[in-house]
Structure 1
Amino acid sequence: MPHFLIYEITKFIFWLARGTARVAKPSEALIYELACADPLNDPPDELCSSTTNYTAGSRFENNLKDLFLSLSSNSSFTRFYNTSSGNDPDRVYGLYMCFNYVNGNDCQSCVSLATTDIVKLCPNSKEAFVGEELCQFRYSNQNFFGQLNVTGNIPKQNEVNISEPQLFKGVVNNVLSNLAKKAAFDPNMYATREEPFKDDTIYALVQCSTDLSANQCNSCLQKAISDIQTCCFFSVGARLFSRSCYLRYEFYNFYQVLPSSTDNMNGESSVRKIWMIIILTVVPVCLVVVLIAFVYWLAMNKKSKKRKNEIATQGPIFRTVHGQHNTDFQHQNFQGRNEQQDQELPYFDFASVSAATDNFSDSNKLGEGALALFTSNGKQVAVKRLSGCSEQGSSEFTTEVLLIMKVQHKNLVRLLGFCIEREEKLLIYEYMPNSSLDFSLFDANRREQLNWSRRINIINGIARGLLYLHEDSRLRIIHRDLKPSNVLLDNDMNPKISDFGMARIIEGNEHEANTAKIVGTYGYMAPEYAMEGLYSIKSDVYSFGVLLLEIITGIRNAGFHQSKRAPSLLAYAWKLWNEGKGLELMDPLLTNSFSSDEFLRYIHIGLLCVQEDAYYRPTMFSVVQMLKAQTMTLCRPERPAFSVGRFTDHYETNPNSCSVNGLTSSGVLPR
């Protein structure tokens, strides 16, 4: 019989026994929990800006409503989310943080309540914060993502005082300080602890918003501990809301609340009756559950053995062997994932995947390294099989799983699960019925379905996805391998960026990094990266520019030199654009559906993105603005990178040129 089932049944009986003990002998903690909570100190608690306000019906208010809708819609499946809405100067940034013990439904309810309360408590305020019972919510007209703010902390204490405040203060301070260090390096920036204190137990919790660094999280919690110890050390419980973190301690288990009763519980007869009820009800139920579970386990074990035997006859490489190597790899790369995350990102059984794909038959192949698979509920998903024969395969697998677990956007492909079986590593993605972009773009017959409006939609979707990776997600991510085969198309031809195996995170205020190991695809790699190993967000901008020109022309950049018209598509586009013959680049299939002015504008934007010097390339935020604002004046692009790559010193600028960085809020730092 599975050990986890025995454990869960035992834990359930212990829970009932523990609850009964508390019922039979009330303690100071139980009295506090039932009778002494101060309703005046209950949330919501707010911080409102008194200096900046918006007017009713303004663009800022409309953007704020859109922000509320976006945050609420994400709160059922992730406990932390930040995003922005609108354009400067009316752009509004916001985030919510549900406490890590809260389930998806309660998180969504709390965020919805917070959006209502924050408007009531801080009417017309351009910057506000509200702390609720299960979450906290914040918005501002300034970008605060990843920035520590410990001003205006809100401490709250219970009115019931502790009998020995100095002793209690020392214990609480030690508990919270240890939790702060633990949370700072926890993947969820969350930690709890139970600490005995005389006849009771202190239950403590700390949590930071996960857009902070480890040092920022620790600093925020240390300031919170200092504030709470100053004001509230004499109370049996307290909590503190901060813009960037949260802490709380009580004499009862508030993060895994046990049931309590208000009945008369004095006397041994009451205890005896309760124990009799428990024995007469729980024991038969447990026996039935054990019996059903045992029968189910036998059936599944028999079915699993049968499946393994079938697969074993197809080749020795597909034998399901749970060796030490597999266990170590899982522990090394996925430690820190809690039970809730396991539910959100399920682990697929290798034998089941192998059987469902007919032993990874080519008849199920969708593209390079991807196969179709039908799950038990009839849903079709895509299986990506990574190389298991090299260290690069293991590194790519780990990077892709850990990265994509933390980013969610409608223009990024969604990861549904993963599988590790000895040297085999599989990723389970949502199924994209129209395959990858190159499948349609570079085939004359299939390209007919890509009319001008669809191509514009694909370009804009890719741009929004990259902008999210570069600026709007809680991590600053450089994809490093953007190309048509890594852009998937859903049923409505909407684009989703995929394949994060080469992606890298840029920490803190860094804007570029250097590597001795060049990875990616030639033809889409920025010159400074291909020649010198330098990569930044501008490297992705270059790849996007190549991709944009390929989409609107239907011509592949790789191998273009064979046409003998120019060394590359970029060189040819640059030549025609300078000669005023840009329309000659038009895909003949677009004759009846395109706008000539819009076509030339998109060539112009593409050439801005592929400029040889990364300094002059726009950021993706600027690119998105250019794509949306048809009336925006575009600067003249500098020479594209179609010969030798270089990366000039940023102090050397051309006084006669117009820098595109004037449109952006960030850029590559000088080196």
Structure 2
Amino acid sequence: MSLFFFFFFLLLSLFSFTIEAQQQTYLLHYCPNTTIFSPNSTYKTNLDRLLISLTSNATAGSFFHNTTTGKHNSDIVYGLFLCRGDVSTKGCQDCVSTATKDVIQRCPVEKTAVIWYDNCLIHYSNQSIFSTPAMTLPLKKFATSEANVSGFQTLYSLLQCTPDLTTSDCNTCLRGAIADLPNCCDGKQGGRVLTPSCSIRYELYPFYNQTAVSVSAPPPPLTPPPAITPGKSKNTLLIIIAVIASIAVSVHLLFLCCCLLKRRVSTLKTLRRLNAKDDISAIETLQYDFSTLEVATNNFSYSNKLGEGGFCEVYKKRNSRLNRKKRKQLGQIKERSK
């Protein structure tokens, strides 16, 4: 029974792929109305010529072509088409033919327009949209990848740039598209970002022609690593070792300084705490009871009275009655306070 379902879903997927190859899937279009042309203008004539040129080059087997039509600056039209890297020649022809007819219907008077289909895009403008001059046989800046995200799911991804972009510009465009993914596809199992110069897409099912991808040549790396000669590599290694060693020594010295500083602070706190305790003990030992004061002042005799203030009277105490130990402690406190 399970074998039956396997062949059933296999046939269903093949049927769906055949239907998708026959019909072109529209995705999006963009045509700002900031600049427009009249239906009978020279720009309209040049635009029609450009779209015919794009269609004929797609029929000739190209997957990318950029060109211009017109002589005067006000009437020149710049245009290009790009087919997805895994699409067959026939699929590219059908897509470009459909897109060139559809873009006129969706953007009838706008001078700048971009239309995206699942298998191709058409882009034209009254301003130059080319990064580099037209090339006869451009390399495909196209790549796919598969990643096992769990034991039962595989993530399929695709990215592509227009071949007129330099490697650096393609890299910048793709990084911008990737950064834009959270704005459109956060939490979704599949998504894509479309721009006039590059596009990315990911799904949990194979949406591209894996056979065509496997036989196509791999694209050039986005950021090729610089070549390093053996002599330079040896010098670089020595520099790295020296930098790491100096950093390690600096960290070690910093750690020792922190330990010494912490120990010194702890010692100062301990000394201050002991000094404060001694002062309190010394002051407490200078306290007298009433009987001692009564004897020292001769029973608070008027002859020993020095004066009086707002809170109490002040008496002179006789030295003969003063305890020698008390005098010694008082002298120590005075000496410490200097």
> What amino acid is aligned across from residue 201 of structure 2 in structure 1?
R
Partner in structure 2 of residue 47 of structure 1: 30
Contact 1:44/1:117 (8 A) holds in 2: no
> What amino acid is aligned across from residue 44 of structure 2 in structure 1?
E
> What amino acid is aligned across from residue 46 of structure 2 in structure 1?
N
> What amino acid is aligned across from residue 233 of structure 1 in structure 2?
D
Partner in structure 2 of residue 254 of structure 1: 207
Q: Does 1:91 align with 2:91?
A: no
What CA distance in whole angstroms lies between the structure 1 residues aligned with 2:120 and 2:42? 27
> What amino acid is aligned across from residue 189 of structure 1 in structure 2?
K
What CA distance in whole angstroms lies between the structure 2 residues aligned with 1:130 and 1:22? 36
Partner in structure 1 of residue 321 of structure 2: none
> What amino acid is aligned across from residue 86 of structure 1 in structure 2?
G
SS in 1 for 2:100: helix
Structure 1 pair 189–22 and aligned structure 2 pair: CA distance change class (3 A)? farther
What CA distance in whole angstroms lies between the structure 1 residues aligned with 2:79 and 2:38? 19
Contact 2:111/2:126 (8 A) holds in 1: yes
The structural deviation recorded for 1:22 is 8.4
What CA distance in whole angstroms lies between the structure 1 residues aligned with 2:112 and 2:214? 33
SS in 2 for 1:96: strand
Partner in structure 1 of residue 142 of structure 2: 190
Contact 2:38/2:109 (8 A) holds in 1: yes
The structural deviation recorded for 1:63 is 0.5
What CA distance in whole angstroms lies between the structure 2 residues aligned with 1:104 and 1:255? 15
The TM-score, its normalising length taken from structure 2, stands at 0.53
What CA distance in whole angstroms lies between the structure 1 residues aligned with 2:172 and 2:81? 20
Q: Deviations over 1:487-540 (max 9, x none)?
A: xxxxxxxxxxxxxxxxxxxxxxxxxxxxxxxxxxxxxxxxxxxxxxxxxxxxxx
> What amino acid is aligned across from residue 48 of structure 2 in structure 1?
K
The structural deviation recorded for 1:250 is 0.9
Q: Deviations over 1:136-157 (max 9, x none)?
A: 110001111117xxxxxxxxxx
The structural deviation recorded for 1:112 is 1.0
Partner in structure 2 of residue 467 of structure 1: none
Structure 1 pair 70–191 and aligned structure 2 pair: CA distance change class (3 A)? same
Match for residue 103 of structure 2 among 118, 125, 133: 118
SS in 1 for 2:146: strand
SS in 1 for 2:96: helix
What CA distance in whole angstroms lies between the structure 1 residues aligned with 2:214 and 2:58? 18
Q: What runs of 5+ residues in structure 2 fail to find an aligned partner?
A: 18-24, 133-137, 218-338
> What amino acid is aligned across from residue 191 of structure 1 in structure 2?
A
Q: Deviations over 1:464-501 (max 9, x none)?
A: xxxxxxxxxxxxxxxxxxxxxxxxxxxxxxxxxxxxxx
What CA distance in whole angstroms lies between the structure 2 residues aligned with 1:105 and 1:137? 17
Partner in structure 2 of residue 214 of structure 1: 167
What CA distance in whole angstroms lies between the structure 2 residues aligned with 1:68 and 1:204? 31
The structural deviation recorded for 1:229 is 2.4
- Say what the alpha-carbon RMSD is for the aligned residues: 2.9
SS in 2 for 1:220: helix
Q: Does 1:78 align with 2:62?
A: yes
Partner in structure 2 of residue 20 of structure 1: 6
What CA distance in whole angstroms lies between the structure 2 residues aligned with 1:218 and 1:340? 21
What CA distance in whole angstroms lies between the structure 2 residues aligned with 1:229 and 1:195? 19
SS in 1 for 2:26: coil
**1:140-539 counterparts in 2 under 5 A?**
140-146=125-131, 187-198=139-150, 199-256=152-209, 339=215
Pick the structure with greater CA Rg: 2
**1:580-599 counterparts in 2 under 5 A?**
none
Partner in structure 2 of residue 69 of structure 1: 52
Structure 1 pair 202–214 and aligned structure 2 pair: CA distance change class (3 A)? same
What CA distance in whole angstroms lies between the structure 2 residues aligned with 1:98 and 1:230? 26
SS in 2 for 1:44: strand
Structure 1 pair 118–195 and aligned structure 2 pair: CA distance change class (3 A)? same
What CA distance in whole angstroms lies between the structure 1 residues aligned with 2:103 and 2:50? 13
Q: Deviations over 1:178-237 (max 9, x none)?
A: xxxxxxxx9411110011122111110000000000010011011111111232121111
Partner in structure 2 of residue 662 of structure 1: none
Q: Deviations over 1:431-476 (max 9, x none)?
A: xxxxxxxxxxxxxxxxxxxxxxxxxxxxxxxxxxxxxxxxxxxxxx
SS in 2 for 1:224: helix
The structural deviation recorded for 1:340 is 6.1
Partner in structure 1 of residue 228 of structure 2: none
> What amino acid is aligned across from residue 47 of structure 1 in structure 2?
Y
> What amino acid is aligned across from residue 193 of structure 1 in structure 2?
S
Q: Deviations over 1:635-664 (max 9, x none)?
A: xxxxxxxxxxxxxxxxxxxxxxxxxxxxxx
Structure 1: which 4+ aligned runs deviate by more than 4 Å?
337-341
Paired residues, what number? 195
Q: Deviations over 1:312-340 (max 9, x none)?
A: xxxxxxxxxxxxxxxxxxxxxxxxx9846
The structural deviation recorded for 1:44 is 3.1
**1:31-42 counterparts in 2 under 5 A?**
none
Partner in structure 1 of residue 85 of structure 2: 100
What CA distance in whole angstroms lies between the structure 1 residues aligned with 2:6 and 2:70? 54
Instruction: State, as a whole percentage, how many aligned pairs show the same letter.
Output: 35
Q: What runs of 5+ residues in structure 1 fail to find an aligned partner?
A: 1-16, 35-41, 148-185, 259-336, 342-671
> What amino acid is aligned across from residue 79 of structure 1 in structure 2?
F
Contact 2:112/2:124 (8 A) holds in 1: yes
> What amino acid is aligned across from residue 142 of structure 1 in structure 2?
Q
> What amino acid is aligned across from residue 119 of structure 2 in structure 1?
L
What CA distance in whole angstroms lies between the structure 2 residues aligned with 1:50 and 1:242? 18
> What amino acid is aligned across from residue 96 of structure 2 in structure 1?
V
The structural deviation recorded for 1:20 is 3.0
What CA distance in whole angstroms lies between the structure 1 residues aligned with 2:7 and 2:209? 17
Contact 1:43/1:131 (8 A) holds in 2: yes
Match for residue 139 of structure 1 among 108, 113, 124: 124
